[in-house]
Structure 1
Amino acid sequence: MAHSLIRNSIKSINPKFLSTLSVHRSVRRLGSVAAAEEEQSSSSFTFSSEGDNVYMKAPAARRKQSSSVTMPMSFMTGSIVGKRFYKEVKTREADDGNGWTVMLDYRTLKTPAKRPLKLPTLSLAKAIAAEWEFQQIDGIRPFTMPLMRLSCTALERVPVTRPKIIENLINKFNQDLVFCRAPDDNDLTTVVHDRQVEKMGPLLCWLESEFGFKPVVYSSFFGGKQEDGLVMAIEKLLKNTDDCELAAIDAIAASAHSLTIAIALVHGKLQIEEAIELIRLEEDLQVDRWGLVEGGHDVDVADLRVQISSPVVFLGLSRNI
């Protein structure tokens, strides 16, 4: 399943088209707490070599004999940073036999905290190695390495900020995209309302059957108030996730503006394209009515597809699905 998702995602994403994400519009800001923690701790990281290791670290005072390459911490900048400083990329089993690592030439890739990038499966290690192998000689493009970013988040940020991540997700649950309905009292919004009822209805029914509480829908821009029982059930589910699963849910929810869609994707209730259709429902109706803006709507679709598909693929690879 994971390999099929990767093939489909790669076929639908043109690397040259991805580079327009930073050229034609402002980069989408990630709303996840894990991502926010990364950007607060450092605006950039450094690849440095010490013996047989390569690690990422926060910027420090420049040394006279530095072999480091500095690049933005945000993996979504479309910038080309530094030059490719390695020739060969490969994977190998971790020294302790527990997990897999990525090698850049003879050096082991490490996380920002100088820990080996120890990955749970060979499939995920090979996928991340492919991201590094894709980098061109003229420079490294961080925005083409979403699996690398998610892996660092799951290995380092989630264990440290888990309570904050869950709190942030629960706080935004009442404003979930799938609970919102456009007013049905005028010609301009009735079409949107009817499509929301049609497309969101099955997901709400699943949510009720899965957790035992009927979701509340609303028309207020500021959201509504869900039953405490439903909120507590969702919070319990999040607390029982492993680090990779929580990192995936957090990343999807930030891009989808919906914890419900994130959970449904992770639990197999929704496919990637179905999720994208729900997220873009209102905007796609506007495009159908007024037309598509080239360099705007099409870039948004490509950006969203990367943001939604990457965590799903990452989670599948981390479980060898």
Structure 2
Amino acid sequence: MSGSSSNGNGNGEGKGDHRADLERASGGPRGTISDSLAKPLARRFYKEASTGDVAPFQILLDGRAVKTPKKRALAVPTKALALAIADEWQAQVDTIDPSRMPLTRFANTAIDAVSETLDAVAADIVAYAGSDLVCYRAETPDELVALQSRDWNPIVAWADATLDARFRVVPGVVHVEQSSEALAAVGHALTPHDPFRLTGLHVLTTLTGSALLALALESKAVTVDAAWNAAHVDEDYQISLWGEDAEATARRRGRRAEFDAAWRWLALLRT
């Protein structure tokens, strides 16, 4: 999971990491879903990637159905998502690079992993809500307090109004139990448990440290850029003080690409 604060070097890690402190204090959620497309194919062996015409829409290579690592059909609920996945396969040149195929990776994960652990994945998202980033606030300095309030208060207000979930907002990082009613409301928002939707929401949740941000983004209550910026208020504040660290910036760029892909995944599921 990405941290929300950084140390004096502005690298997003270390004892200034608000999110890491919070997870240590609370026991924390379990982390990201493992990626089931771990071993890339050595070379491109097909001429054309396409899709089937009937739901669930299969991904085809030279007319033959693609299989997941567990030998299941690589098939998704919407034509738009299938076409986007086929485009990823078509874009490969000499070798197949999974790092450039996020939608394919999400599909494999949804089909091979999440479909077998639906309740556990949903429970993990609810666990994030139990120690949600936007509910734990800095006490000083005043500028950071104001930035957190500006970007996080609307998310908490959205959860109160839309999910009917009354989340406690507290100073510091010492874990505070949220009400069972609030957590149940988040759990209800995840039903019915669909492996494709849960995959996207889990990726967004683990990248931001906030189930509420993930749900608000899915509901279009916040824009993609606003959600990303809200997840990095602490980190951006530290960068404004200490400057950027090249290695941390590269890692953040990778997280942003994954974040954008997860948002696109959810959008294509609704198309």
Q: TM-score range by the shorter chain?
A: 0.7 to 0.9
Change (3 A) 1:92 1:235: closer
Task: Kindly indicate whether structure 1 or structure 2 has the higher relative contact order, using CA contacts under 8 Å at least 6 residues apart.
Answer: 2
- Of 226, 229, 235, the residue aligned with 1:277 is 229
Task: Select 2:66's aligned residue among 109, 115, 121.
Answer: 109
Number of aligned residue pairs: 242
Which residue in 2 is equivalent to 1:168? 124
Matches within 5 A, 1:7-86: 31-32=31-32, 35-36=33-34, 44-45=38-39, 71=40, 82-86=42-46
SS in structure 2 at match of 1:239: coil
Q: Which runs of structure 1 show a deviation greater than 6 angstroms over 4 or more consecutive aligned residues? A: none
The structure 1 residue matched to 2:251, chosen from 300, 307, 316, is: 300
Provide the aligned C-alpha RMSD in A: 2.1
Mapped to 1, the partners of 2:178 and 2:131 lie a distance apart of 9
Partner of 1:179: 135
Unaligned 5+ segments in structure 1 are 1-29, 46-70, 72-80
Q: Distance in 1 between matches of 2:63 and 2:258?
A: 32
Corresponding residue number in structure 1 for 2:75: 118
| 2:137 partner SS | coil
C-alpha contact 2:165 2:183 (8 A) present in aligned 1: no
Q: Are the equivalent residues in 2 in contact too, given 1:100–1:118 (CA < 8 A)?
A: yes
Query: Where in structure 2 are the equivalents of 1:114-153 lying within 5 Å?
Result: 114-137=71-94, 139-153=95-109
Q: CA deviation at 1:121?
A: 2.0
Larger radius of gyration: 1
Change (3 A) 1:100 1:166: closer
Query: Are 1:276 and 1:304, in contact at CA under 8 Å, matched by a contact in 2?
Result: no
Identical aligned residues as a percent: 26
Aligned mates of 1:280, 1:159 — CA distance in 2:
31
Structure 1 residue 44, shift from structure 2 partner: 4.1
CA–CA distance in structure 2, aligned partners of residues 134 and 115 of structure 1: 23
Residue aligned with 1:90, SS: strand
Distance change >3 Å, CA 101–CA 240, structure 1 → 2:
closer
CA distance 1:117–1:236, shift in 2 (3 Å)? same
CA distance in 1, matches of 2:121, 2:77: 22
How many angstroms does 1:106 deviate by?
A: 3.7
TM norm structure 2: 0.81
Structure 2: runs of 5 or more not aligned: 1-29
Q: Does 1:268 align with 2:241?
A: no
1:309 and 2:266 correspond = no
Any idea what the Cα deviations from partners look like across 1:203-234, whole Å, max 9, x if unmatched? 11111112334321123434321122111111
Instruction: Map Cα deviations across residues 258-279 of structure 1 (whole Å, 9 max, x no partner).
Output: 1111111111111110111011
